Structure 1
């Protein structure tokens, strides 16, 4: 066969140009005929009722069919088999503790509040480093920062149950610690939603299949409750100025009402000392807005009410159920229903991974090993040499030579 050098120059040019011409013709034909249609995934429809209520009738659940290539719909479809019914009589936590609801006639919620619940994140930091939610590149599982894992777990929880989710990139006060911003933005969101759940990034649901309405039933957070927060661990440094344990503001359940607006306004203005003398020390001193609420606001709110005389407005949640993590069990706070990782702020990434794999592991197992087209069961057979036979069958005689 002659080498390329032996072929005339005109023929060599043809050999080089021919593939280019063919490719150009194919591209032109594709452009003229239009792109190939994008394959559409099947649709899934969720039958949640549109939310109604005296405060926010304008908040409507989208009842239209959702495509599975829409991430929120995909999340809900994946977790749907695991979600605990709002009125389920009991739930067993990860540590094996059985939590029981009150009798049916005492339940606060029997149906989902849907989009009328808002899961809220508030943060003043740029969050633009590698592995952050606002970084130049999307975070990967290998480089995601614990704070971003915490935020994503909150979004995941909201999508599982069809709640609203908001992330507020907040400005900082000029005269106080950044923690104070979550007070004013929780108040602002209470103008839009019936229930606002404000969470620090390291506060996470260990069992995201449990709806908030179930927990509100369990903790008896009825319509009178303005705000619910967990008690801090029993230690001298967690005592307020009245020698009562602080409540922790890393996880706040607040319910919209005129009373709530008044309470949150007083709380936000606490450092100005228009109502609470001595509150200015908490502008920058730890525990900031948490200490202000614990030492001042809860003892004088609305029309001179106190948590001691009117406990129905402020629900204090048990530390073991709504604060801490198993790693700090010696504090009496293991976070059975809500975890707060103040004792190990690197662990939200692990918690987020558990949230995801808790749902995916049984689904993957069922898809792979519950499918008779994938799994073939030969246990009723016997193997002889290179043959697979029914039990008791006589193997055929060897072929004659």
Structure 2
């Protein structure tokens, strides 16, 4: 059995899957795209089709899991879908081998029973008398020309009826008869010759089927297919226990679900009280779901204590950048987006941050929108959906990418005197032009198109300087690159004195990476505390005991009279014998 789970395939908008033994799951509908309502298991030779009329913004991702399947795009009319393809040759191979055995057995029977009998064959009178019991296709065999003898062997003929009778005789038999039959026009061939041709073709077809179904194929040009990333290096625990994942998903839904900001809301009020309003009608009115990929990219192992791949990560010893990537994962879980962490290969001659460029390019082949963040970048409001920000920042059908401008400081200016765009936070939209931009960006240091770009292989600000000095001037249509305000999508409150970059919606902690873990705690506790407090008040009758109707007399509680209650109330209002909270 071969497992290729985790491979990514690109299909055209209209597709069909010819499968051996297959099971289709995770299907549903999106807009005008109607697929199967429930998971369905299909038997041998099933065919599953899905036709989709895509919205102008592209296609929703389609997740299909199936075994022993071959993919056939029917036409190239635009749009792409993500298909996770898990293939196993186990069932198809069993069926194909079984059919092959049956074919060989049938051929053997025909070889023994239906082979041409020479006219001179010594057949006993009992056998001749019984030939009328045989089908016409057998009884006229004695009229065939006798082939040149090559070998002789006993012929045993068994006729089943009320009682089984077998007859044995000698016949001249030539294997050349098969070749003679195949070289004879079909109209002039004996029935036995036709059967042999059918059986031979069937046997060849079965052998081809075994080979065909054992190889997964996307039937797509390799230039369009996304890279296949191995996923086994950091495999999930294999104990089959999903209770932790289920419980954490339940916690996140319970914590953030009731307070998620509407995707198409006209405004948003920040924690300081500032109100941010859309500039027009919202483009995105429904959740994008798995069409969005929240993306982390790194080439380092990150297995040291306190790092992301540490199997025993603890809060007090967690390194700040682990907190950042966990916040990205949490944001994706809250809103139902896809999330991937890609361990990228290194460039031999470039600074490590260059790897983000080709990896973003590849990710855009499987998703309509990607959000890449450095590990010191966080969404400050986990309950605020990306769709609202896309509306607020005016993502259009012509936008290639969104990036925040850097602070107004000398080191942040390019050779033309314009401020860099920070590549630590990028929202990119799938399109051919976006692919062209990322390819040109990744190849910039080769200097085939951009002389002088090789400088930024190792010099600060690396890929950011390459984009700022070259790429943004090549891709300069009005909507190509959406420049986001530094105050909204860069910096942090601690950096407000550096060009006002306080990161209202997206915080980038280049000012102090140690603040990332604190922000993760804040992004949880600012939502958890009000919910905990509300639960406390709602169940007050179960745990609050009001003993104010009594007075203390030594070790005893004595119920107050009405006059004593009035005096006690006056003393409480005066604050007598009371300490300040926290004293």
TM-score by length of 1: 0.77
Deviation at 1:244, TM superposition (A): 0.7
Structure 1 residues 50, 389: CA separation in 2 closer, same or farther (over 3 Å shift)?
Answer: farther
User: Is the CA contact 2:406–2:419 (under 8 Å) kept in the aligned structure 1?
Assistant: yes
Looking at CA atoms only, which structure, 1 or 2, has the larger radius of gyration? 2
Q: Deviations over 1:184-209 (max 9, x none)?
A: 11111111111100000001111111
What is residue 122 of structure 1 aligned with on the other side? 297
Aligned equivalent of 2:471, options 297, 310, 327: 297
| In the alignment, structure 1 residue 272 sits paired with structure 2 residue 446 | yes
Q: Which one has a larger percent strand, Structure 1 or Structure 2?
A: 2
Matches within 5 A, 1:324-363: 324-331=491-498, 332-363=500-531
Aligned equivalent of 1:113, options 288, 292, 300: 288
Q: SS of the counterpart of 1:339?
A: strand
Report which structure shows greater RCO (CA 8 Å, sep ≥6).
1
Deviation at 1:234, TM superposition (A): 0.8
Q: Deviations over 1:5-54 (max 9, x none)?
A: xxxxxxxxxxxxxxxxxxxxxxxxxxxxxxxxxxxxxxxxxxx9858653
What is residue 343 of structure 2 aligned with on the other side? 169
CA distance in 2, matches of 1:316, 1:214: 17
User: Is the CA contact 1:76–1:162 (under 8 Å) kept in the aligned structure 2?
Assistant: no
Unaligned runs of 5+ in 1: 1-47, 302-306, 395-401
Deviation at 1:363, TM superposition (A): 1.4
Structure 1 residues 391, 221: CA separation in 2 closer, same or farther (over 3 Å shift)?
Answer: farther
What is residue 490 of structure 2 aligned with on the other side? 323
Deviation at 1:392, TM superposition (A): 8.8
What is residue 90 of structure 1 aligned with on the other side? 267
User: Is the CA contact 2:263–2:285 (under 8 Å) kept in the aligned structure 1?
Assistant: yes
Deviation at 1:341, TM superposition (A): 0.4
Q: Deviations over 1:220-261 (max 9, x none)?
A: 112211100000001221111111110000000001111111
Structure 1 residues 393, 341: CA separation in 2 closer, same or farther (over 3 Å shift)?
Answer: closer
| In the alignment, structure 1 residue 148 sits paired with structure 2 residue 322 | yes
Q: Mean alpha-carbon deviation: is it higher for 335-344 or for 276-285?
A: 276-285
Aligned equivalent of 1:80, options 257, 271, 296: 257
What is residue 383 of structure 1 aligned with on the other side? 550
| In the alignment, structure 1 residue 229 sits paired with structure 2 residue 403 | yes
User: Is the CA contact 1:321–1:333 (under 8 Å) kept in the aligned structure 2?
Assistant: yes
User: Is the CA contact 2:61–2:367 (under 8 Å) kept in the aligned structure 1?
Assistant: no
Q: SS of the counterpart of 2:305?
A: coil
User: Is the CA contact 1:382–1:391 (under 8 Å) kept in the aligned structure 2?
Assistant: no
| In the alignment, structure 1 residue 248 sits paired with structure 2 residue 426 | no
Unaligned runs of 5+ in 2: 1-27, 34-53, 65-81, 83-241, 566-583
CA distance in 1, matches of 2:296, 2:342: 6
Q: Deviations over 1:87-129 (max 9, x none)?
A: 22222223432211123xx212111101111110001111111
How many residue pairs match? The answer is 332
Q: Deviations over 1:284-319 (max 9, x none)?
A: 111011111111011113xxxxx2xx2211100000
Structure 1 residues 164, 218: CA separation in 2 closer, same or farther (over 3 Å shift)?
Answer: same
Give me the CA root mean square deviation: 2.5
Deviation at 1:145, TM superposition (A): 0.4
Q: SS of the counterpart of 2:542?
A: coil
CA distance in 2, matches of 1:182, 1:357: 31
Q: SS of the counterpart of 1:347?
A: helix
Q: SS of the counterpart of 1:296?
A: helix
Q: SS of the counterpart of 1:81?
A: helix
What is residue 62 of structure 2 aligned with on the other side? 58
TM-score by length of 2: 0.54
CA distance in 2, matches of 1:388, 1:185: 74
CA distance in 1, matches of 2:63, 2:479: 27
CA distance in 1, matches of 2:370, 2:306: 27
Q: Deviations over 1:32-78 (max 9, x none)?
A: xxxxxxxxxxxxxxxx98586533441589xxxx9883423431232
Q: Deviations over 1:137-195 (max 9, x none)?
A: 32111100001001101111111111111101111101111101111111111111111
